[in-house]
A and B are shown apart, each in its own frame.
Chain A
């Protein structure tokens, strides 16, 4: 390992509909890139080892853990983060359901939960409670006990 070795790349990607051309240090993971470089701090880091799901975002429509991808790997991708869901002030059905069902307390897991459910319900409309539970089984929430999150997910999937 050489300290002088500052490996950088230029990448181009779309985040929440906006195209960015950025120089990134190649060791930066995607979550840090979004947070530190694009100042999109709605994506949270809860473990940085791929278990808590707080960092979940959509890459080309698929829900992935952004702490387990290098930023440079998102070159050419279309990324959606929590900041990109609402249409202006108009929240998506999942965002609204979270509030109606009190599916968030401290809000730290919330971005990841919503991104997971957004991707899952898009792919599995009509998902039942068991499926919704499984869909968020890779997202840890320490506050809510999950029940209200599941209720919010089921309510939206049933629509």
Chain B
């Protein structure tokens, strides 16, 4: 069997329909009799509801129904949603009612639903609903949430603390007692929202004959949503079918449950009509979970040469108004903290707090970009404090190649010890530095400064725990036509799963990639799946695809050997045909399709003895541990010290995601991820006023990265296979995003070194850079 597909940049199987405008996203699907919903949302961040009058809205021609929470009927007025990820660390797990009960706690919260003939009419009706709000004080900034005089974010709350998360190992007191140097640094991290180009969209279609609800949903996790819905409705899972058609980007916030799909399921059943709701962009800004703010207060202990002894501190984490997602985001912000460094001791406490803002949940990388930024800030702080080359400080602290598998001393959220499986962090950094021209940069920088141009270079190194388990189900089935059905539970939002798993199966089974028929993300057709999140799919569905294909191959070879009366070892499969190898001296063959036909019960006589029907296999094989991807990035910027503008000159990322199944697709993930990280560093900022009223609700004010502002991005690869799966693969979906912010911020600081500017907070904009320049100048002239 030749390596035809694995490791090659096969063009995507899924492209053509999109190129021709034939993709089918939720909003492209229509049903006879379909009605359209529009949600009335809270306009005030915190208020008591004294009453809702929807009578005028109900009168508008074309309006079929208006629902408040009471209108949904029992038991819903007394049945809030539950969190998707419960945890004993949660002190207060407040989840919202499907529609607001008697209080709203963030702008954007669902208050009522209008169902009408068209979206236009539904929106006409929205403006006729009168809500009697009694405004209450709100918490807008997570830094204030635990203050003694902070107002309660929910009526009757004694504290705004949601829960704590801890990252602790080693002897931190000893580390600080023995240290030659200690440094303190505070920084504020803000990460923007999802902003997939397709917003969240839903169609629910209740079939009274079957008493079954089909939900077309832009989710990353159809099986999770079905389970949560079935549990909430106390319904048999077979009565709810969740289908993800084409989905226009996910990036995390499309992973969890939202009130809207629950409401629509109820309403479709009550009205016995299909109901569609399309989230519009203004809603998306407030209704879709975002990632929000973190305030870090950190301290680091190190030796003269920059060798780190320990880090400690406190993080305040903005949960938003409810807890739909447990402590997933806090956990992923803290446990990856050591990053690629051999950190002897850590003691970090995170306070997750309520605010009156949109709920938070992971966005590309989840808390990992925050943790990576925190660790990289500490490295920068040490380098600055000791006047060392930041590259050297990293080298001195990296986990060495000979230390793998490396046990950090910390634990994963699962409670298992964190163990890095493989990598070579030193060589990755060197690759990136060399490509970026780091060795000769100081000279170039000095020459530019002579001309009044301020160039800077910044580094960022990271690891990424990928492929969190437990598994992703894959089924492979050869059909009598010769077509091979490949089913996975994992939904795709553009990652190219179809191509990647087809590559694996085609290679393992010995068929043409064109003969593979791919189905995914439909709880009605696929046996079981988990979620597309946390760069987990390749490391789970990859091994499962391989294992399932291998089982089918075995079965086919065994059967073919019987049919052709030849030894199994004398057979091979190529292009979908099992044939005798030349060495056997025989010239016989049979196609996989024909073999499959032989296993079809009733159609072809008796199924041969000792075989289960169908030439198929299902596998849940996954990685045996956590594959850790790693990377180092180097950014070069030029800062205009008169205007504060930052021009991104170049960006290099050396990345290791183990063996690459399709390098072109890996590059796509990395580059897209880097740009997302650049957005976090420089552009994306969701502004709220002091009453927690959102200010940036359009794309002129909330800035996403665009083509003209992006630097050339060069991706270098190192392939250190993961020992945790036979394919040697690791995840790649978030590795571009995780390190980006520090590379950019450190580059700006490096450019402004002559002025002594330290940026620390992100995103940073030109105005802020000018303020920092002015402040630096003031303190210089004062001194």
Contact = CB atoms under 8 A, between A and B. Distances in A.
Physical contact A–B (CB less than 8 Å): yes
Given A105-B495, A105-B668, A98 B248 contact: no
A22 B23 CA distance: 25
Contacts of B25: 41, 44, 108
A56 interface: no
Contacts of A107: 14-15, 17-18, 23, 246, 248, 494
12 contacts: A41-B21, A44-B197, A46-B197, A51-B698, A52-B281, A82-B19, A99-B11, A105-B495, A105-B496, A106-B494, A109-B248, A142-B251
Given A44-B198, A143-B494, A105 B672 contact: yes
Interface in A31-65: 35, 40-49, 51-52, 54
Nearest to A91: B19
Given A41-B27, A102-B668, A146 B248 contact: no
Contact of A133 (B17, B246, B708): B708
B698 A144 contact: no
Interface stretch (B139-147, B313-321, B634-642, B699-707): B699-707
For the residues of A in contact with B, the DSSP-based class is loop
A54 B246 CA distance: 16
Interface stretch (A69-77, A120-128, A147-155): A147-155
Q: Which 4 A-B residue pairs are closest in the complex by CB-CB distance?
A: A42-B21, A106-B494, A108-B248, A107-B18
Contacts, number: 173
Contact of A145 (B12, B16, B713): B713
A141 interface: yes
A61 to B, nearest CB: 18
B526 interface: no
A66 interface: no
Given A47-B281, A106-B493, A108-B248, A140 B197 contact: yes
A142 B366 CA distance: 16
Interface of A: 3-4, 25, 27-28, 35, 40-49, 51-52, 54, 81-83, 85-86, 91, 95, 98-100, 102, 104-111, 114, 133-134, 136-150
A107 B21 CA distance: 9
B248 A44 contact: yes
A142 B23 CA distance: 17
B675 A104 contact: no
Contact of B699 (A3, A41, A51): A51
B75 interface: no
B249 to A, nearest CB: 4
Most buried by A among B9, B15, B705: B15
Contacts of A145: 668, 671-676, 705, 710, 713, 736
A134 B708 CA distance: 6
Contacts of A147: 671, 710, 712-713
B720 to A, nearest CB: 24
B380 interface: no
B260 interface: no
A148 B706 CA distance: 13
Contacts of B700: 49, 51
Most buried by B among A4, A82, A102: A102
Nearest to A129: B712
Nearest to B280: A48
Contact of A142 (B15, B196, B664, B665): B196
A41 B28 CA distance: 6
A110 B14 CA distance: 13
